[in-house]
């Protein structure tokens, strides 16, 4: 059996080279391109993203990324969003008081984290469900985060049927974890979502060492 073909969507944003190398390391054939035919028909599509929500949405629209992602999901073809590539899957993002429409695959708002120190940067544990496919074998590991905004709630819940896919599996983490001196300081946010063919992580698996590679390998195995 040949290795699955993964397209990393090249739309001008994201640390794409490290993502390409990580995916190749776990056994995928990888192409970095904005070619619509390749992006729509590859075994898997990775949507990276760094920076501002609005800028990422602008970049995606310039390569018709919203159409590519929508068509793939309508056909049940896997998509993995990373960092801001996860955030844009939500209904909208609010930065500096300005709202920007996202891809609206999930309801909810991306907003500034309410934590003692922002950005939330560094290695942190996650709260993954026992039946998570992405976190199989790495539920107790730490992953690398660097972000100032996130989904602080998940309005869809984990039991509601989206109409297309099974109920989502949501993984959480905490920015500014509570301490004895500040027991209420932590701000819980969505660290990852698994929802049918659409998966996404707020952290960077390509920068998360062996745990991140293991997670990418888990995703590749589903293609």
Q: Which of 83, 111, 141, 194 is catalytic?
A: 83
Catalytic site residue from 40, 105, 111, 206: 206
Is residue 214 annotated as part of the catalytic site, yes or no?
Answer: no
Active site residue 83: yes
Q: Is 204 a catalytic residue?
A: yes
CB 115 within 8 A of CB 68: no
By annotation, the residues acting in catalysis are: 83, 204, 206
């Amino acid at each position: 059996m040949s290795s699955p073909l993964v397209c990393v969507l090249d739309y001008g944003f994201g640390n794409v080279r490290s993502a390409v190398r990580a995916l190749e390391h776990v056994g995928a054939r990888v192409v970095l391109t904005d070619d619509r035919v390749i992006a729509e028909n590859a075994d898997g599509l990775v949507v990276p993203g760094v920076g501002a929500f609005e800028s990422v949405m602008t970049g995606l629209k310039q390569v018709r990324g919203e159409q590519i992602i929508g068509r793939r999901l309508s056909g049940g073809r896997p998509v993995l969003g990373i960092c801001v590539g996860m955030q844009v899957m939500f209904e909208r993002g609010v930065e500096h008081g300005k709202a920007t429409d996202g891809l609206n695959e999930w309801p909810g708002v991306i907003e500034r984290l309410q934590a003692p120190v922002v950005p939330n940067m560094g290695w942190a544990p996650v709260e993954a469900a026992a039946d998570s496919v992405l976190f199989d074998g790495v539920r107790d590991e730490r992953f690398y985060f660097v972000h100032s905004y996130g989904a602080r709630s998940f309005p869809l819940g984990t039991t509601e049927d989206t109409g297309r896919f099974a109920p989502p599996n949501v993984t959480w983490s905490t920015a500014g974890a509570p301490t004895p001196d500040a027991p209420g300081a932590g701000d819980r946010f969505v660290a990852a979502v698994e929802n049918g063919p659409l998966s996404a992580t707020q952290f960077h698996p390509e920068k998360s060492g062996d745990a991140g590679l293991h997670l990418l390998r888990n995703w590749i195995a589903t293609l």
